[in-house]
């Protein structure tokens, strides 16, 4: 039988955190290749950028340490699977998928830390 090992992340390093306007957060997820999802956890809507893989980042990852280059967030009390925004530039309604990550231990710990260390509007 194959041995299965669960090795959760034990450290998250965040290099930049920015509180951003709700509409700007939605707009930033629109790309020419398609729309990128947002994440929602315990009243916070957010996005993050991971570090590009390099030898040192892979080494950190294998040792349970991940890096997020930048996190953008805004307060949003309730979860909605799809967010819509009427956009005047594209003359259309933008639809962004939202992933509920309240089952993620990493995201739960991050949101708890964020609420304790940032001034949430």
Give per-residue pLDDT as tens, 19-40. 999 999 998 888 777 789 999 9
Q: 100-110: per-residue pLDDT in tens?
A: 999 999 999 99
Residues 6+ apart with CB under 8 A from 63: none
Structure tokens at 111: 């949101």
CA atoms within 13 A on the CB side of 58: 3
Q: Specify the pTM.
A: 0.89
CA–CA dist 77, 42 (Å, integer): 7
Measured between alpha carbons, how far is 121 from 109 in angstroms, rounded to an integer?
19
Average pLDDT of span 47-75: 95
């Amino acid at each position: 039988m194959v041995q299965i090992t669960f090795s959760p992340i034990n450290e998250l390093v965040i290099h930049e955190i920015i509180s951003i306007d709700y509409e700007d957060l939605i707009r930033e997820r629109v790309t020419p290749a398609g729309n990128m999802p947002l994440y929602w956890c315990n009243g916070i809507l957010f996005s993050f950028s991971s570090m590009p893989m390099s030898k040192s980042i892979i080494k950190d990852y294998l040792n349970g340490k991940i890096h997020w280059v930048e996190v953008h967030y805004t307060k949003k009390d309730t979860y909605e699977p799809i967010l819509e925004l009427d956009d005047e530039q594209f003359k259309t309604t933008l639809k962004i998928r939202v992933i509920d990550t309240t089952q993620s231990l990493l995201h739960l710990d991050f949101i708890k830390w964020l609420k304790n260390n940032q001034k949430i509007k």
